[in-house]
Structure formats: structure tokens, C-alpha cells
Amino acid sequence: MALRLKLVPDTTTINFFRWQWLTFGSSIALMIASLVIVAVMGLNFGIDFRGGTTIRTESTQEVDVGTYRSALQPLGIGDIIITEVFDPGFRADQHVASIRIEAQENAEAATPETVARVQDALREIDPSITFPSVESVGPKVSGELVRSAVIALVLAALGIGIYIWFRFEWQFALGTVVASVHDVLVTVGILALFQIRFDLTTVAALLTILGYSVNDTVVVFDRLRENLRKYKTMPLRDVMNLSVNETLSRTIMTVVTTLIALFALLIFGGDVLRGFVSTIIFGVILGTYSSIYMAKNLVLWIGVNREPKANPKAGTKFADIDA
């Protein structure tokens, strides 16, 4: 007999609207608090957004990122990102790494003295190491990256809204976009509160959060559309409760399995992945919450036109749209 793991019973009758004003009010409060935290504390921008210096290294010895980091940590030069560079054209004994150092205080990039200290520290652990190039990223380029990141997030949210609008109705699109903005904004507030490094990988994590949140919300809305056809006289609030209960098992299983993988990355992925994974973990939890408690509440308050079309086969205005 096969063993089935059940985190949620097959049939649930939870009233998700019981505390709707508390849950929705808490979400609004968290969004406002996030804006205040970002404005007061600011984000802990990484090298991508703050500017800095990139040092390229070459050696006949294999690159050990952990050893490199241990050698540079005592220098106290701030944020350091170390990545090994791979290329099919490299020789068998050619091992290349890229070391990125944040801009020092009152300077656009690392000073020559700082670069020399880094090079000396690496020579102590690897006498064969050489430094083919040293490049700096100034504040102008960093500012352009900040603007590009904001534009990417805004366009992604708009694209999602348009997609939901065509697939469902504008009420569903509005609920989805507001829930997605809630997830991203509160996540950014958490990053600012704990001063977790914010760089281009964090932007990628925020875009991933948008996709995850929408996926969760669409599953609920898809079941809601089916139930609107099936229960034509049932009050909209009850249809929504039914839809969330029917998809609850899938929602819980999805978030649990996703978090298992993410926590494995958080524990074993090292410092390079820590900010990226932490951001996604916050977003996945918030995305699950907003799909259940926020998106559908907005749709309920806006209302949905459930009058059938002239076509007698159409149960509701959603009947002609494929799932």
C-alpha cells in the first residue's frame, strides 16, 4: 500500500474571510512600513549599484573561493564578491577568478593602495597568481543599473497585469498586480530592515517572486472561474472561499517543497547565494499569503459581473475563456 503524505485534508471548510479586515489591514500596514523603512534606513546596495573595482586574477593553481575570501576578509575593505571564471579556451593550467571590491568611502572606486593590499594578500596564499586587469565601475554606471532594475520590475508587473486582464477580467488583473506589488515591496522592506545586500542577483530574485506570486494567484483564480460557472447562484464570497479551500492542498504542498529546496541552498550555497536565496524565501512566504488573503479580497470588493451572455451555453462571462 502506497504511503501518501497529506499536509492538508482533502476537504477543508476554512472561512478565509473571517478576519478579512485584519489580514488586509495588516498587508497595507506592512506596505507602508516597508516604504518608511526603505526611506529611513536605505538599502544595503552591493557593488553593482554602489560602484567599485573588479580585479581579474590568473593562476596555475585551482581557484579556491573560500581561501581567497579568508585571505581578504581581515583587510576590512567592505563588500567582496569572488567568482571563478570558466572558458573553453583556457589552458588546462589556466585558472581565472574575478574579485569585485565595493567603492571605498569618499571614492568612486578602490584606491591603488587598497588594490595593492588585495594583491599582496592573494600572493601570500598563491605566489603564482597574476593580475591581468583592474577595472572600476563608477557611480554613473551604478545609477543606470538602479534605473534599469526599477524599470524591469515595473514592466514585469504591468506585463503580468495585462496577461491576467486578457486571461480573466480586469478585476482579477488588479487584484493580481496589487498582491504582487505587496510581495515585492514588503520583501524589499525586509531587506532594508536587516540590511541584506541588494545587488543584481536580488533584482533577479524579486522578478522570480513576481512569477511565483502570480502562479499561485492564477491557480486560485482559475478554480474560481470554474466554480463561477458551476455555482451560478452561490454568493461570490462563498464561491471564493470554496475555491481557495479546493486549491489549499496544492498551495501548501507547493510552498513547502519550494522552501525545502530554498533552505538547502541557504544552508549549503555559501555566502554568494545567501542574499539571493533569502530574498526568494521571504517572497515565497509572502506570495502564498497574498494569494490566499489579498488578491481575492480585492476582487470581492470590486465585484464581478456574473450575468450570462446571450449564448445559452455560456454559464458566466468567463465561459468562453480557456483554462
Could you say which DSSP state residue 195 is in? T
Over range 17-42, report the average pLDDT: 88
* Residue pLDDT, tens place only, 230-255: 887 888 888 888 888 888 888 888 88
Least confident of 7-21, 65-79, 265-279, 284-298: 7-21
Indicate the residue among 137, 163, 196 that finishes a domain. 137
Reply yes or no on whether the pLDDT at 26 is more than 80.
yes
- Section 201-209 average pLDDT: 86
User: Is residue 238 included in any domain, yes or no?
Assistant: yes
Write out pLDDT tens, residues 134-158.
Answer: 877 665 556 677 778 788 888 888 8
Q: Are 52 and 115 in contact (CB under 8 A)?
A: no
pLDDT at 280: 92
Q: What average pLDDT does the segment 156-176 reach?
A: 80
Q: Which domain holds residue 167?
A: 20-43+142-302
> Is the model's pLDDT at 310 over the cut of 80?
no
Q: Are 128 and 150 within one domain?
A: no
* DSSP code for 107: S
Q: Are residues 170 and 80 in the same domain?
A: no
Provide the CA 289 distance to its chain's centre, in angstroms.
15
Residue 248 lies in a domain: yes
Note the pLDDT of residue 1: 46
Q: Determine the pLDDT at residue 247.
A: 84
> Are 195 and 295 in a shared domain?
yes
For residue 307, the model assigns a pLDDT of 62
Provide, rounded to the nearest whole percent, the portion of the chain with pLDDT above 90. Answer: 11
How many domains does the chain divide into? 2
**pLDDT of 285 higher than 60:** yes
Number of Cα atoms under 13 Å in the Cβ half of residue 184: 25
Do 84 and 36 share a domain, yes or no? no
**310 part of a folded domain:** no
Same domain as 155, residue 197: yes
Task: Read off the pTM.
Answer: 0.72
Verify that 298 and 274 share a domain, yes or no. yes
Residue 7 lies in a domain: no
Instruction: Identify the domain boundary among 137, 165, 181.
Output: 137
Contacts of 177 (CB under 8 A, 6+ apart): 157, 158, 160, 161, 164
CATH classification of the domain holding 99: 3.30.70.3220
For residue 314, pLDDT beyond 50 = no
Judge contact between 47 and 137, C-beta under 8 A: yes
Q: Using 50, 70 and 90 to split pLDDT, how confident is the model at 40?
A: very high
Q: How far apart are CA 115 and CA 59, in angstroms?
A: 18
Which pLDDT does position 323 carry in this prediction?
39
97 φ/ψ angles, rounded to the nearest 5 degrees: -135, 155
Task: Tell whether 104 is covered by a domain.
Answer: yes
Whether residue 151 is found in the same domain as residue 231? yes
The CATH number given to whatever domain includes residue 26 is: 1.20.1640.10
Distance, in Å, from the CA atom of 134 to the CA atom of 191, rounded to the nearest integer, reads 31
